[in-house]
């Protein structure tokens, strides 16, 4: 999918916007029936959250899958029902965007900086390895996938502090361009100030 296809998808979607808590929140109902929510910071116009509404194969609601931003505070799932879950001090990934880069933060990684190896892989993912064989993760890059790009090694950099590994990927010009166009599109939307707004869901 090229960058035009994504732009067309955004343009064709039914959009509902509201300004709340200093954020411009936009709900998209895409033409293929999927639902997405984006939240932009009012002052900086940086995307702080993007989430997709997930549906199971049989049409049941599964919940929201957060692509960018802090994950929804999960209610403690009952261990007696699920049977198994990752220990609470296991590493987990969150994603953020800045004006110029994509960012991943992997928390709960106590190992020193020199054990981490971060590479761009041919299958369109960024792979995090540790030389002590304690952590391994393939990170999808949906932003690049949507415009048909593959991650490039020279744009990747990472730092480590406070038990957190921060991976930064400098946005390619094509992506910056697309984001500007999408933002323009959204700025033209009339957004409601407050109150109960009903978003179309089907």
Partner 1 sequence: MASAAAAKVQEVREITRIERIGAHSHIRGLGLDDSLEPRNVSQGMVGQLMARRATGVVLEMIKDGKIAGRAVLLAGQPGTGKTAIAMGLAQALGLDTPFTSMAGSEIYSLEMSKTEALTQAIRKSIGVRIKEETEIIEGEVVEIQVDRPATGVGAKVGKLTLKTTEMETIYDLGNKMIDSLMKEKVQAGDVITIDKATGKINRLGRSFTRARDYDATGSQTRFVQCPEGELQKRKEVVHTVTLHEVDVINSRTHGFLALFSGDTGEIKSEVRDQINAKVAEWREEGKAEIVPGVLFIDEVHMLDIECFSFLNRALENEMAPVVIMATNRGITRIRGTNYKSPHGIPIDLLDRMIIVPTTPYQEKELKEILKIRCEEEDCEMADDALTVLTRIALETSLRYAIQLITTASLVSRKRKSTEVNIEDVKRVYSLFLDENRSSQFLKEYQEDFMFNELPEQAMDVS
Rule CB under 8 A: which residues touch partner 1? 56-61, 78-90, 129-130, 133-138
CB of 91 to partner 1, least distance (A): 8
**Which residue's CB is nearer to partner 1, number 61 or number 154?**
61
What is the per-residue burial (b if ≥16 Cβ within 10 Å, else e) of 145-181? ebbebebeeeebebebeeeebbbbbebbeebeebbeb
Cβ 3 to partner 1 shortest distance, Å: 27
If the CB atoms of residues 19 and 92 are measured against partner 1, the closer one turns out to be 92
- Closest approach of Cβ 85 to partner 1, in Å? 6
Nearer to partner 1, 42 or 117 (CB): 117
For residue 116, what are the contacts with CB-CB under 8 A and spacing of at least 6?
A: 109, 128, 129, 130, 158, 160, 165
In this complex, which beta carbon is closest to partner 1, that of residue 61 or of residue 194?
A: 61
Strand order across the 125-130 sheet: 116-120, 125-130, 136-140
Q: How far is the CB of 137 from partner 1 (least distance, A)?
A: 6
Q: Judge contact between 67 and 54, C-beta under 8 A.
A: no
């Amino acid at each position: 999918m090229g960058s035009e296809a994504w732009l067309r998808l955004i343009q064709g979607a039914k959009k509902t916007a509201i300004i709340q808590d200093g954020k411009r929140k936009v709900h998209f109902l895409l033409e293929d029936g999927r639902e997405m929510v984006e939240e932009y910071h009012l002052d900086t116009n940086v995307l702080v959250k993007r989430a997709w509404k997930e549906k199971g194969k049989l049409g049941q609601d599964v919940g929201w899958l957060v692509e960018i931003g802090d994950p929804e505070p999960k209610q403690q799932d009952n261990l007696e029902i699920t049977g198994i879950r990752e220990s609470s001090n296991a590493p987990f990934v969150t994603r953020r965007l800045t004006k110029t880069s994509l960012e991943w933060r992997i928390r709960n990684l106590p190992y020193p900086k020199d054990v981490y190896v971060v590479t761009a892989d041919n299958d369109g993912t960024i792979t995090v390895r540790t030389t002590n064989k304690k952590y391994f993760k393939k990170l999808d890059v949906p932003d690049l996938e949507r415009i048909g790009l593959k991650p490039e090694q020279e744009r990747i950099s990472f730092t480590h502090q406070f038990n957190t590994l921060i991976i930064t990927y400098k946005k390619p010009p094509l992506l910056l361009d697309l984001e500007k166009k999408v933002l323009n599109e959204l700025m033209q939307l009339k957004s409601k100030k407050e109150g109960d707004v009903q978003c179309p869901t089907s």
